[in-house]
Structure 1
Amino acid sequence: MFSKLHSKDNIKNSAISYKNQVFNKKNRNFYIKAILLITVGLISYFFIANNENYYNKTIGKIIAVDETQGNTEYIKNQHLNTIIMNGKHKGEKLEFDNLASYSKIFDIDYKINDRIFISITEDEKGSIISSYILGYKRDKYLGYIAIIFVVLILLIGGSKGFKSLTSVIVNILIFYSVIKLYSHGYNLWVITTIMSIIFVIISILIVSGINKKSLCAIVGTMVSIIITMIITAIVMTVTNSKGVYYEEMEFLMTSPEQIFFIGLMIGTIGGIMDIAITMSSAINELYNKNPNIERKILIQSSMEIGKDVMATMANTLVFVYISGSIPTILFWLRNGLSLSYIIGIGINLEIIRALIGSIGVVISIPITMYISVILLKERRIGVN
C-alpha cells in the first residue's frame, strides 16, 4: 500500500514539475509572443486579402471561367465573368475574353477567385461602355510570404530576428535610394559605392551592435571587397573581357561593363559580409572562452571554422546565381540549343558572378581572421 501511495506521489510530483517547466517565465513569454505574432499575422492576412478599397484602380474578382480549346493544344480561349470589388461601380459585373497559352510567357491563365486590375471607359452619365484587363493583382501572394517570413524570423530569432528584420528594411530603403538618385542623374558608380559602404556598416552594426567584433567584420568585408574587385578588374583588363558576353544587357542605355561590375559588387557583398561576421564572431568567442589562447591555436581553430563555412557559402552563391536562369535554360533547351552553348553564352554572366563571388568568399576568410586577431589583440593571449 505504501509503495502504491509513494508511486502516485512521484507521478503527481513529476506532473507538477513538468507543468512548472512548461509554464515557467521564459516559456510563458515565448507563448505570449507566439500568440501575439500569430494574431498580428492573421490580421495582416485578412487585411491584404481584402484591401481592394485602398486602390485607386478598378479591381475585379473572377467568379466564373469558361474554357474552350484553341487552334493548337497549347492555346485555350477563356471567357471570364468578373465582379467589380471597389470604386463607384462596385458590385457590377463584367465579361472578358482571354487567350491563354501553355507557356504563359505573354499571357496569364486566369482562375476563379483571381483578382485583376481593370481599365474602364465611361459615358457622360458615368456608365461603363468599355473595359479591358490591365493585369493580375499579385500583392496578396507577396504579402502572404512576407507575413510568414516576419512571423517566423521574430518568433524564432527573437531580438536578433528583429534586428535582422530591421536591417533588411533599412537595406531595401538604401537600394531604393540608389535607384532614385540614379534616375535624377547622379553617377551610378559613386552612389553605388557610397551606398554599399553604408549598407555594410548599418547591416553589421544593427545585427552585432557597436563593438570590436563588428569593427573587425566591417574592415574585413571592405578589404575583401576591394581586393576582389581589383582582381576582377585586372583579369578583365588583361583578357580584354574575352569570353564575357553582355548580350543580355544590350538594351541598356549605359555601359554594360559598368552595370556588370556594379551588380557583381552588390551581389558579392552579401556572401563576404556573412563570412566576415562569422569569422570575427568565432575569434571573439574563442578569446572570451580563453583569453590566454595561443595565437597559433587561435588561427588554426578559426581557419577550420572558415573552411566549413567557405564550402557551403560557395555552393550557395552558385545556386543563387544559376537558379535565376532556370526558366531561360529550359526555354533554350526546348528550342533545341545545345547545353554547351547555354553554359558558354546563355548563362555566361551568372557563372562568372558565381566564380568571382566565391573568390571573394575564399579570400575574406584569412583577411578577416588576421584583422580580427590584430584588432582584438588587447586581450591577453598566450605564447606567440
Structure 2
Amino acid sequence: MEHNQKFKMYMENNGGKKIQWVVFAVFMAVFALFLIRFNQVDIASLVSTEGRTLERARVVEILKDNVQEDGNRVGQQNVVIEILTGSKKGQLAEATSNNGYLFGAVCRPGMGVIAIQSLSGDISLHTVYSFDREWAILGFLFVFLGVICLIGGKKGVLTCIGLIFTFVCIIWLYLPMIYKGYSPVLAAVVIAAVTTFVTMYLLGGWSGKTACAVMGTVSGVVVAGISAVLFGKAAHLTGYNIPEIESLLVLENIRGIQVGELLFSGLLISALGAVMDVAMAISSTVFEIHEQMPELDRKGLFCSGMNVGRDAMGTMVNTLILAYVGGGASTLLLTYAYQLPYLQIINSNNIVIEIMQGISGSMGVILTVPIVSLIASSLAVGRKSEVPAVSPSLTEQF
C-alpha cells in the first residue's frame, strides 16, 4: 500500500507538471502570434535613404594614407574596397575613410568594413562607415551563452531562453507599444510583468513562490516609477530634458508618442533586473523556511523575509547606484575637470537625471523587501501543504 501511494503521488506530481508545460507552451505560441500581428505597423520615414545602403566590403588597397610623421592621423584615407553584398557585389570601388572617433576606420588591406554606398544613376559614392564588428559581437554573444549553459546546466539553458525572451519582448513589444502611442510607463510595467512571469516560470515552475516573486517584482517596478514621477515633479524634470529631444519631438508630432514619459519608462526597465533578484530571493527564502518550519506563523515568516531582504537590499542598491554612476562616468569626469561650481552641478539636467534614476530605482528595490515578505508570508501560511515531490528512482521499485 505504501509503495502504491508513493507511486500515485509521483504520477500526480509529474502529471501536473506536464499540464503546466503544455499550458505554458500554448501561452508562448499565442504570444508569438500576437507579437507578429502587433508588429504590423508602418514606420514613418524620418530621413530619406533613397539610393543609400550599407554594404559589407573588404579593403583591397590603400591609395592615400593619412598618417603623419609624428604618427597621428589627419584628414581622410583613400582606399579601394571590394563590395561583398548588394547590387554591386564583387565589384571594386574607391572609397574614403574619415579620421573620426564616431565614424570611419583606420583601414588596412584585408580588413572587413561596412561601407555607405550612395547610388544616383551611373554615379556611385562609397564611404567607410566603420569596422565590420558583427562577427566579434556574435562570437562573444555565443561564448557568453555557452558559458551560462556550461556552468548552469539545465538551469543555464533555461536562463538563456529567458534572456532571449526578454530581448524579444523589448524589441517587438515594448518599442512598438511606445511607437503606437501607448504610455511608455504602461509599456514598461507590461514588460516587467510578462518577462518576470516567463523567467520565473522557466527557472522555478509555477508555484506559490513564483507567484509572489512576480507580484513583488511588478510592485517594486511600479514603486520605482511613482518615485521617479514624484522626484521629477519636485525637481521640474518633464522628461524633455534629454539630449535626443529634437528627434523625439519629430516622432511626437508624427506618431503622437508620449515623449515626456520615456525618461521614466527607461528607469523602470533599468531597475527591473535588481528588483526581480530581490523579489525571488525573499520569496524563495520564505517558502523554504515554511517548508522546514511549518509551525512558524505569518509574523515569524515576515520577519525572516525582512532579515534576508535587508542583506540583499544593501548589495542591490549598491549595484544600481554604481550602474548609473558608471553610465555617467564621462559626464562626471568633465564636471570634475572643469571644476564646475556646486550650484551648477546640483542643478544640471544630466546630473539630476542620474540622481533621480539612482534614487528611484533604489526605492523600488528597498520597498520590494516588505512587499514580497508580506505577500509570501501570507500566502505560505494560508496555502494548503503541497504534496512532496517523489524522486524518479522510486519508480524502479515497482
Instruction: Kindly indicate whether residue 56 of structure 2 is the aligned counterpart of residue 59 of structure 1.
Output: yes
Q: Is the CA contact (8 Å cut-off) linking 2:83 and 2:91 kept in structure 1?
A: yes
* Amino acid in structure 2 at the alignment position of 1:287: H
Structure 1 residues 117 and 362: CA distance shift in structure 2, 3 A:
same
Structure 1 residues 236 and 67: CA distance shift in structure 2, 3 A:
closer
Q: Is the CA contact (8 Å cut-off) linking 1:292 and 1:380 kept in structure 2?
A: no
Measure, in 1, the Cα distance between the counterparts of 2:83 and 2:237.
56
Measure, in 2, the Cα distance between the counterparts of 1:269 and 1:375.
23
1:258 shift after superposition: 1.6
Measure, in 2, the Cα distance between the counterparts of 1:304 and 1:189.
31
Measure, in 2, the Cα distance between the counterparts of 1:294 and 1:188.
41
Q: Could you list the per-position Cα deviations for residues 132-169 of structure 1 after superposition, in whole angstroms to 9, with x for gaps in the alignment? A: 33444322121112111110111111221122211122
SS of the counterpart of 2:67?
Answer: strand
Structure 1 residues 377 and 233: CA distance shift in structure 2, 3 A:
same
The structure with the largest alpha-carbon Rg is 1
Instruction: Kindly indicate whether residue 360 of structure 2 is the aligned counterpart of residue 360 of structure 1.
Output: no
1:122-271 equivalences under 5 Å are: 130-176=125-171, 177-237=173-233, 239=234, 241=236, 246-248=241-243, 250-251=245-246, 252-253=248-249, 254=252, 256-271=259-274
* Corresponding residue of 1:119: 117
* Amino acid in structure 2 at the alignment position of 1:347: I
1:293 shift after superposition: 3.8
Q: Is the CA contact (8 Å cut-off) linking 1:246 and 1:256 kept in structure 2?
A: no
Measure, in 2, the Cα distance between the counterparts of 1:108 and 1:142.
17
SS of the counterpart of 2:381?
Answer: coil
SS of the counterpart of 1:376?
Answer: helix
Q: Is the CA contact (8 Å cut-off) linking 2:290 and 2:296 kept in structure 1?
A: yes
* Amino acid in structure 2 at the alignment position of 1:59: R
* Corresponding residue of 1:80: 79
Q: Could you list the per-position Cα deviations for residues 178-236 of structure 1 after superposition, in whole angstroms to 9, with x for gaps in the alignment? A: 22243344454544443333233223222221100101111222333334433444454
Measure, in 1, the Cα distance between the counterparts of 2:374 and 2:190.
26
Measure, in 2, the Cα distance between the counterparts of 1:111 and 1:316.
41
Select the residue among 335, 338, 351 that pairs with 2:340: 338
1:327 shift after superposition: 3.5
Structure 1 residues 354 and 109: CA distance shift in structure 2, 3 A:
farther
Q: Could you list the per-position Cα deviations for residues 304-332 of structure 1 after superposition, in whole angstroms to 9, with x for gaps in the alignment? A: 32122111111111122222222444456
Q: Is the CA contact (8 Å cut-off) linking 2:239 and 2:263 kept in structure 1?
A: no
Deviates more, 1:92-101 or 1:359-368: 92-101
1:9-88 equivalences under 5 Å are: 58-63=55-60, 66-69=65-68, 75=74, 77-86=76-85
Q: Is the CA contact (8 Å cut-off) linking 1:224 and 1:360 kept in structure 2?
A: yes
Q: How much is the aligned-residue C-alpha RMSD, in angstroms?
A: 3.5
Q: Could you list the per-position Cα deviations for residues 34-87 of structure 1 after superposition, in whole angstroms to 9, with x for gaps in the alignment? A: xxxxxxxxxxxxxxxxxxxxxx95421225554422999573543434333346
Instruction: Kindly indicate whether residue 324 of structure 2 is the aligned counterpart of residue 324 of structure 1.
Output: no
Measure, in 2, the Cα distance between the counterparts of 1:343 and 1:240.
11
* Corresponding residue of 1:370: 374
1:294 shift after superposition: 5.5
Measure, in 2, the Cα distance between the counterparts of 1:233 and 1:292.
43
Measure, in 1, the Cα distance between the counterparts of 2:297 and 2:304.
11
Q: Normalising by structure 2, report the TM-score.
A: 0.68
SS of the counterpart of 2:59?
Answer: strand
Q: Is the CA contact (8 Å cut-off) linking 1:221 and 1:364 kept in structure 2?
A: yes
Measure, in 2, the Cα distance between the counterparts of 1:326 and 1:236.
22
* Amino acid in structure 1 at the alignment position of 2:261: Q
Gaps of 5+ in 1: 1-55
Structure 1 residues 256 and 134: CA distance shift in structure 2, 3 A:
same
Instruction: Kindly indicate whether residue 348 of structure 2 is the aligned counterpart of residue 351 of structure 1.
Output: no
SS of the counterpart of 2:358?
Answer: helix
Q: Which has the higher contact order (CA 8 A, sep 6+)?
A: 2
Q: Is the CA contact (8 Å cut-off) linking 2:232 and 2:238 kept in structure 1?
A: no
Identity across matched positions, percent? 24
* Corresponding residue of 2:34: none
* Amino acid in structure 1 at the alignment position of 2:59: I
* Corresponding residue of 2:31: none
Measure, in 2, the Cα distance between the counterparts of 1:197 and 1:73.
52
Measure, in 1, the Cα distance between the counterparts of 2:332 and 2:104.
20
Q: Normalising by structure 1, report the TM-score.
A: 0.70
Structure 1 residues 279 and 207: CA distance shift in structure 2, 3 A:
same
Deviates more, 1:325-334 or 1:168-177: 325-334
Structure 1 residues 193 and 260: CA distance shift in structure 2, 3 A:
same
Q: Is the CA contact (8 Å cut-off) linking 1:332 and 1:342 kept in structure 2?
A: yes
Gaps of 5+ in 2: 1-52, 253-257, 386-398
1:245 shift after superposition: 8.2
